């Protein structure tokens, strides 16, 4: 899922400084799973913002609300009647959600309470790591199910480089060398001879480098 993390309080408080009445809007999908912007996090952030304002002699009225998702119009519509009563929406969804809410309510500032980090997985509770770079051209079948674009710090398609040490990336000992993982996986699949297959230069035009992307399914359009 998409993994993000709440911005520092100082940054959030600066963003909402001009406002006295805001909606803090959570999302029940990815940001709930990574405990960044679900219903509970909406409660915690709102309590912290109220305490902070009140101790500075100011007040703030916060409407706490959590949508199923912020990336589908139908759910965003659910707050239409309450929006006119507030001055800003502080969204705890990922960047896509924040933008989509802003598109539906262009007359009111929609602010990001979290930093969206990556597409990743829950290795264990409280520990999320990156797995996918959304390059638009998946090669997982060639590398034993481990992504060289996302998990190698240099996105090498014919790795590893000479900098890994005891299976850890030269960038940071906490990062496992992606190519070490690929080689071990190829071994356990009995496919180590695949290692010598040359993977040609990637067509990056299917990734963000080619410009903002879209997917269209005419058969599904109403």
For other proteins, the binding residues (CB under 8 A) are: 8-10, 13, 40, 43-44, 47-52, 54-57, 153-167, 170-172, 177, 180, 183, 195-196, 198, 200-202, 204
Query: Which candidate, 90, 14, 87, places its Cα nearest to that of 45?
Result: 90
Q: Looking at beta carbons only, is 66 or 105 nearer to other proteins?
A: 66
Q: Looking at beta carbons only, is 74 or 166 nearer to other proteins?
A: 166
Task: Give the number of other CB atoms < 10 A from CB of residue 12.
Answer: 21
Query: Which candidate, 81, 18, 156, 103, places its Cα nearest to that of 164?
Result: 156
Q: Looking at beta carbons only, is 44 or 103 nearer to other proteins?
A: 44
Q: How far apart are CA 26 and CA 96, in angstroms?
A: 13
- Non-local CB neighbours of 172 within 8 Å, separated by 6+ positions: none
CB of 37 to other proteins, least distance (A): 14
Q: Looking at beta carbons only, is 76 or 182 nearer to other proteins?
A: 182
Q: Which helix (H) or strand (E) holds 116?
A: strand 114-124
CB of 33 to other proteins, least distance (A): 17
CA distances from 127 to 122, 123, 172, 173 (A): 6, 6, 17, 16
Q: Looking at beta carbons only, is 47 or 134 nearer to other proteins?
A: 47
CB of 125 to other proteins, least distance (A): 10
CB of 81 to other proteins, least distance (A): 27
Query: Which candidate, 5, 22, 34, places its Cα nearest to that of 90?
Result: 22
């Amino acid at each position: 899922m998409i993994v993000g993390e709440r911005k520092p309080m100082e940054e959030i408080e600066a963003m909402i400084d001009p406002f006295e009445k805001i909606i803090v809007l959570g999302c029940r999908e990815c940001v709930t799973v990574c405990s960044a912007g679900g219903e509970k996090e909406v409660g915690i952030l709102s309590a912290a913002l109220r305490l902070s304002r009140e101790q500075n002699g100011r007040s703030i009225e916060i409407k706490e609300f959590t949508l199923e998702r912020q990336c589908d119009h139908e759910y965003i519509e659910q707050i239409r009647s309450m929006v006119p009563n507030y001055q800003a929406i502080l969204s705890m969804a990922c960047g896509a959600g924040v933008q989509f809410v802003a598109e539906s309510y262009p007359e009111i500032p929609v602010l990001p309470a979290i930093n969206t980090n990556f597409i990743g997985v829950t290795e264990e509770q409280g520990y999320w790591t990156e797995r996918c770079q959304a390059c638009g051209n998946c090669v997982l079948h060639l590398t034993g199910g481990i992504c060289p674009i996302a998990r190698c710090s240099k996105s090498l398609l014919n790795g590893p480089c000479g900098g890994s040490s005891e299976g850890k990336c030269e960038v940071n000992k906490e990062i496992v060398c992606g190519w070490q993982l690929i080689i071990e996986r190829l071994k356990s699949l009995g496919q180590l001879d695949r290692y010598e297959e040359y993977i040609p230069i990637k067509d990056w035009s299917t990734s963000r480098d080619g410009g903002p992307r879209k997917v269209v399914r005419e058969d599904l359009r109403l």
